[in-house]
Amino acid sequence: MTSTETRAAFSLAGIFSLRMLGLFMIYPVFTFYAEHLAGSTPLTVGLALGAYGLTQALLQIPFGMLSDRIGRKRMITIGLLIFAAGSVVAAMSGTIHGVILGRILQGAGAVGSVILALGADLTRETERTKAMAIIGMTIGLSFALSLVLGPLLDAVIGVPGIFWLTALLAVAGIGVLFGVTPQPAQLKSHRDTGTVPALFSRVLGDAQLLRLDFGIFALHAILTASFIALPNVLHDIIGIPQSRQWMVWLPVLAASVVIMVPMIILAEAKRQMKAVFVGAIVTLGLTQVALLIWHASLVELVVVLTLFFAAFNIMEASLPSLISKVAPAEAKGTAMGVYSSSQFFGIFVGGTVGGWAYGVDGPSGVFIFSALAALIWFGVAVTMKQPRFTKSHMINVAELDDTAAEHFAARLRGEEGVVEAVVVPEDGVIYLKVDSAIVGEDDLERFSRRPAEA
């Protein structure tokens, strides 16, 4: 990566992480705060926790498409200002309904797809995967950090203070955007990161992709519902004050990563993706049953939570990889857009249904809901086909006319290990999908040099 591409990747990752920190820091502390708000019920508390997911799911694709017309930085700025406004509304609200409105506004600042599009504008096709990986890693790190910072900050500034801090982080993101992030030379629609409306029917008609979309929906429904119950279990049953609950989350998350890493290596390097994938779903379901039965002992709870987050982290890493493997080469961005919307809709449903379940039967109601969600997910996933181990690659053919580009793509299709080679003339790109066991980096470099010879 060039210095400009590196600066683009890390600055956009910073903007993403500042925003995600603000969204996630209230997860471990919100239920305690919400108990004292006017109009608070378990259902409205759950709705407040998950409400941002609904507007995020509805608006992130339109935000990305609109940014093609009026500019990436302009749309990111608008989104971050809306997000900041929602944070201020939530901070100043003395009722649960005001907080719900604030969370809805936070979600309406749906800039995730625009950030990825800007990252694509600022990187070459050959380096784009690295840039997206840098941005993707910040999401997981932000989530882990937020579970530790949330209780610590709550003890000092309270939940309203966290909301105010979230607004400041959004403004800081705008500062990074204009002070650090390079300005793209031109805006383009990138099929590897952006959504193409003409491809919706193809993506939504693919049963394999729909299985994965349901997977991320169920995963985040379970996660959001869990944070309606788990902080209260730690406080009311185990006796850990909310200000010290970070002492549980920190070792649990660290140990879960240690478990996750060899499982991801087994899935990818040893080509055991489906076995690891289904095994993680089973583990998620069993941890919910275990939480239903054993949540009165700290040791038991820590062990179960470690397994839960290990399975969660495995799925968070595996699902995007599976989308990339399964999606048609030229429809990867559209598939990821539908996938991301499914994730945010899962957050909304998990918060709402989880809050209702908590009102019906306390923590047990939440764990039963989550176990049933995992059971349904298992039924959906177990019939999934074994994914082909492919990776995507792009070759710039803008200097070729359409006929020459298609001839070149036809030659690539004859190469051993090339699964797909699709020319998109308006992008000036050939989208490749190759078998990673057959086609190495040297082969990809050789393919990329050949347009000049076509």
Give pLDDT tens digits for 178-219: 999 998 877 676 676 778 888 888 899 999 999 999 999 999
Q: What is the pLDDT of residue 450?
A: 65
Query: In this structure, what DSSP letter does residue 400 have?
Result: S
Closest CA to 269 of 436, 392, 416, 384: 436
pLDDT at 451 over 70: no
- State the pLDDT confidence band at 419, using cuts at 50, 70 and 90: confident
208-265 tens-digit pLDDT: 999 999 999 999 999 999 999 999 999 988 899 988 999 999 999 999 999 988 888 8
Confidence of residue 69 (pLDDT cuts 50, 70, 90): confident
* Band (414; pLDDT cuts 50, 70, 90): confident
Class of domain 206-387: mainly alpha
Cα angle at 378 between 344 and 309, to 5 degrees? 60
Q: Residue 418's beta-bridge partner residues? A: 434
CA neighbor of 369 nearest in space, from 282, 281, 288, 283:
288
Instruction: Name the more confident of 228 and 401.
Output: 228
Phi, psi (degrees; rounded to nearest 5) at 41: -135, 165
Percent of the chain's residues with pLDDT above 70 = 97
Equal fold, 206-387 vs 390-453: no
| Of residues 138 and 356, more confidently modeled | 356
Instruction: State the pLDDT at residue 452.
Output: 54
The torsion angle over the Cα atoms of residues 373, 379, 381 and 384, rounded to 10 degrees, is -160
Residue 387 — pLDDT band, cuts 50, 70, 90?
confident
Helix/strand/coil percentages in the chain, nearest 5:
75, 5, 20
DSSP assignment of 44-104: HHHHHHHHHHHHHHHHHHHHHHHHHHH-HHHHHHHHHHHHHHHHHHHHH-SBHHHHHHHHH
Q: Go through the chain and tell me how many residues it has.
A: 454
Contacts of 421 (CB under 8 A, 6+ apart): 329, 409, 410, 412, 413, 430, 431, 432, 433
Q: What is the average pLDDT across 105-132?
A: 83
The pLDDT value recorded for residue 372 is: 97
CB 332, CB 395: distance < 8 Å: no
For the cut 60, the answer to whether the pLDDT of residue 363 exceeds it is yes
What local confidence, expressed as pLDDT, does residue 2 receive?
85
Name the pLDDT band for 57 (thresholds 50, 70, 90).
Answer: very high
CA distances from 352 to 264, 297, 348 (A): 32, 28, 6
The two three-digit tokens of residue 153, written as one number: 């900050």
Where does 1-194 sit in CATH, by number? 1.20.1250.20
pLDDT at residue number 453: 54
Q: Lowest mean pLDDT: which of 17-26, 96-105, 174-183, 367-376?
A: 17-26
pLDDT value at 112 more than 90: no
**What is the pLDDT, as a whole number, of residue 384?**
86
Given a contact cutoff of 8 angstroms between Cβ atoms, the answer to whether 86 and 104 are in contact is: yes
Phi, psi of 142 (to 5 degrees): -65, -40
Runs of H (alpha helix) within 240-331: 246-269, 273-293, 298-326
pLDDT over 90 (residue 400):
no
% residues pLDDT > 90 (the chain) = 50
Q: What are phi and psi of 350, to 5 degrees?
A: -60, -45
Using a 10 angstrom Cβ sphere, with 0-12 exposed, 13-18 middle and 19 or more buried, the burial of residue 231 is buried
Q: Give the pLDDT score at 162.
A: 95
Is the pLDDT confidence value at 169 over 80? yes
Name residue 410's amino acid: A
Which whole number is the average pLDDT over 337-357? Answer: 95
Cβ atoms 29, 49 nearer than 8 A: no
**375, 377, 379, 381: CA torsion to nearest 10:** -140
Pair 256, 249: CB distance under 8 Å: no
More confident: 121 or 188: 121
Q: Are 308 and 219 in contact (CB under 8 A)?
A: no
Which of 90-104, 107-121, 320-334, 426-440 shows the highest mean pLDDT? 90-104
In words, the CATH class of domain 390-453 is alpha beta
Domain boundary assignment for the chain: 1-194, 206-387, 390-453
Residue 72 has pLDDT above 60, yes or no: yes
Q: So what's the pLDDT on residue 397?
A: 79
> Count of CB atoms within 10 A of residue 118's CB?
28
Rounded Cα gap, residues 375 and 382, in angstroms? 11
pLDDT of 304 strictly over 90: yes
Is pLDDT above 80 for 8?
Answer: yes
Listed range (60-74, 181-195, 360-374) with the worst mean pLDDT: 181-195
Q: How confident is the model at residue 172 (pLDDT cuts 50, 70, 90)?
A: very high
| CB within 8 Å of 257: residues ≥ 6 apart | 310, 313
pLDDT of res. 407: 87
Rounded-to-integer distance, Cα 255 and Cα 310, Å? 8
pTM (global) more than 0.85: yes
Determine the Cα–Cα distance for residues 256 and 306; give it in Å rounded to an integer: 5
Q: For residue 98, which amino acid is it?
A: G
Three-state DSSP state, 185: coil
pLDDT band per the 50, 70, 90 thresholds, residue 401: confident
What's residue 126's pLDDT?
65
Is the pLDDT at 153 greater than 90, yes or no? yes
Residue with the two structure tokens 């080469």: 329
C-alpha to C-alpha distance for 70 and 62, rounded to whole angstroms: 12
Average model confidence (pLDDT) for the chain? 88
